[in-house]
Amino acid sequence: MNTKSIFLVLCCLTAFPSYAQHVPTLEEVVNGGLIVTKGESRVNWLSEGNSYSKKEKNPAGGYDIVSYTAGKNKREVLISASMFVKPGTSDTLSVRSFSFDTSHKQVLVYTNTRRVWRYDTRGDYWVLNMETGKLRQLGAQLPESSLMFAKFSPDGTRVAYVSGNNIYVEYVSDGKVVQLTRDGSNTIVNGTFDWVYEEEFSCRDGFRWSPDGKYIAYWQSDTEGTGWFDIINNVDSLYPKILRFPYPKAGTTNSAVKVGYVAASGGETTWIDLPGDPRQNYIMRMDFIPESN
């Protein structure tokens, strides 16, 4: 070891004396107590164009949804944390993210999240009517933390979401649920994607409302015949678990991917006629043309 190497090591130990004196516990490392960080939440620009909304912690517990006016930095509480208390309980929703309908009279709250691959894209969704104060959970009949990519219809009367690789539409007013697809399984994936599409194309949310709210277009992946990859998960529980997922390596079978559209009220899916072998093509982007079907 030369003089420069010794000098660098001594500088590191001097700069972080607490690490030299204290051996961190596993709990400190896993639960984030070792290094304290502070960041800002995602912001959502409001329809008037000069204000944005974001979540902020309420000192009494939970999160407020607040707005700031650009330029003036004027702050206003749009929704207080007290409005996010679950009906019949004293529990306040922990707001992971939120979105408004076009009227800004309803807000969709994402909470109780779980990780899918590397992002927490699965959880519970609640709708809050800001005028009446009514808070209601969506997909209450489905397993906990199983809803993905919920979003309002253009007119705000319904919310569509994915659960168990199937697509659902739920009416906000009365909770009526319409199941649009029924073939979702371990190998048939509707409204979201397999590992390759997320990794290579950043594709996660796999369905779109039409501008008039009458249809939903979506991706479907058929992973049958794709090789399975095993990973040992050593961090989420006391004992390791083996995770299996379809993962095509170079030269092996890809998922067969196609795009179709279905009436939001239910019915048969119409599949788009695309040229070529669906296992040899990628469909990376899809959307409705604005002001049309």
Identify the residue with better confidence: 59 or 15.
Answer: 59
Q: With pLDDT > 70 as the criterion, what percentage of the chain qualifies?
A: 87
Residues 102, 96: Cα–Cα separation, whole Å: 20
Low-confidence winner among 193-197, 210-214, 254-258 (lowest mean pLDDT): 193-197
Residues 49, 51: Cα–Cα separation, whole Å: 6
CB 172, CB 157: distance < 8 Å: yes
Prediction pTM value: 0.81
273 three-state secondary structure: coil
Report which of 158, 232, 223 is spatially closest to residue 193, judged by C-alpha positions. Answer: 223
Residues 254, 252: Cα–Cα separation, whole Å: 7
Give residue 143's pLDDT. Answer: 95
Give residue 41's pLDDT. Answer: 59
Q: Taking the C-alpha atoms of 88, 92, 98 and 102 in order, what is their torsion angle to the nearest 10 degrees? A: 40
Report which of 110, 162, 155, 157 is spatially closest to residue 137, judged by C-alpha positions. Answer: 110
Residue 4 per-residue DSSP state: H
- At 131-178, the pLDDT tens digits run 999 999 999 999 999 999 999 999 999 999 999 999 999 999 999 999
Q: What's the CA angle centered on 287, arms 51 and 197, to 5 degrees?
A: 100
CB 10, CB 3: distance < 8 Å: no
Report the chain's terminal Cα–Cα distance, integer Å: 70
